[in-house]
Amino acid sequence: MFILRQMRRIDTNDDQKDSIMASISPIDLQKALKGVEYPTTGENLAQTAQENGADQQLVDLLNEHGEEEFEGPNEVSRAVFESA
């Protein structure tokens, strides 16, 4: 029963990520990260996105990457769009 509940949570999280990704475009990501200096971390990306008025879902998604370091915008795009 516990495993089934966990599987349902995973499915729900996947559905939520798919929904979030459907609402975020590469242009949205680019606007949210305007002014970022690389290399930087996921936490810094999330903070910048929030300061730039990004949707909270995008801020949360970036924040999930925590201390992961990104060398440039291409790495961020891969992390965001390939994690969906």
pLDDT at 56 over 80: yes
pLDDT value at residue 11: 45
DSSP string, 27-66: HHHHHHTTT--SSEEHHHHHHHHHHTT--HHHHHHHHTTT
Is 90 exceeded by the pLDDT of residue 66? Answer: yes
Closest CA to 32 of 60, 67, 10: 60
pTM: 0.73
Helix (H, G, I), strand (E, B) or coil at 69: strand
**Amino acid at position 1, single letter:** M
List the domain boundaries for the chain. Answer: 2-82
- pLDDT, one tens digit per residue, over 12-41 is 455 445 544 557 899 999 999 999 999 999
The Cα-based distances of 1 to 7, 13, 14, 44, 69 in angstroms read 10, 18, 20, 39, 38
